[in-house]
Amino acid sequence: MEYEFLVNNVLHKISLEKKENIFLVSDGKKTFKADICFISPNVISILIERRSHKVYLVRDKDKMYISIEGEQFIVQEPLESGESFQKSEERSQEDELMIKAPMPGKVIKINVSEKENVRKNQTLAIVEAMKMENEIKSSIEGYVKKILVSAGDLVDSENPLMELVKKRDVP
């Protein structure tokens, strides 16, 4: 069986074949064997080339949020046209100003306050998802216009955590 999917807005194609209890996975360049074991509905263990990987999964609407060894990925089906939902390096102005969690989770800490100046890549908040703490960082230089959540709130990837204003837009 062949599959196409987006991982962080980059199109990937793989073929998957099951032989007994092992899966043969190929990306067109390399083929490897994978032994997959479901630990719970949201956790699987994958053995690839004698190395075990614990994978945490969370589904939210049309996206799957995956955490493998501390790295997070967003997996979704491509559009019918084969284009990604947004270009990987492009960010809309709304995305820069409305800070969202990368996946559903719980706000552990808010590291900034309203009207506080922030620099690019500064940690704004920490959201726990899939037993991992994710630092939410600023994508711009500017200041915090409004904080929309508090520590302890449950959030998803659709609702903003806070709103920023670009430095050049500061009054």
Cα gap 47→45, rounded to integer Å: 7
- List domains and CATH numbers for the chain: 2-76 (3.30.700.30), 93-169 (2.40.50.100)
Q: Is the pTM for the entire model greater than 0.85?
A: no
Q: Please report the beta strands in 61-167, taking only residues with DSSP state E, as ranges in sequence order.
A: 63-68, 71-76, 98-100, 105-110, 117-118, 123-129, 132-137, 142-147, 154-155, 160-166
- In angstroms, the Cα distances linking 169 to 20, 21, 22, 165 are 60, 58, 56, 6
pLDDT for the residue numbered 119: 92
Instruction: Kindly list the averaged pLDDT for each block of 10 residues, start to end, along the chain of length 171.
Output: 79 85 87 88 87 86 80 75 42 64 89 94 89 85 93 87 80 53
pLDDT for the residue numbered 88: 35
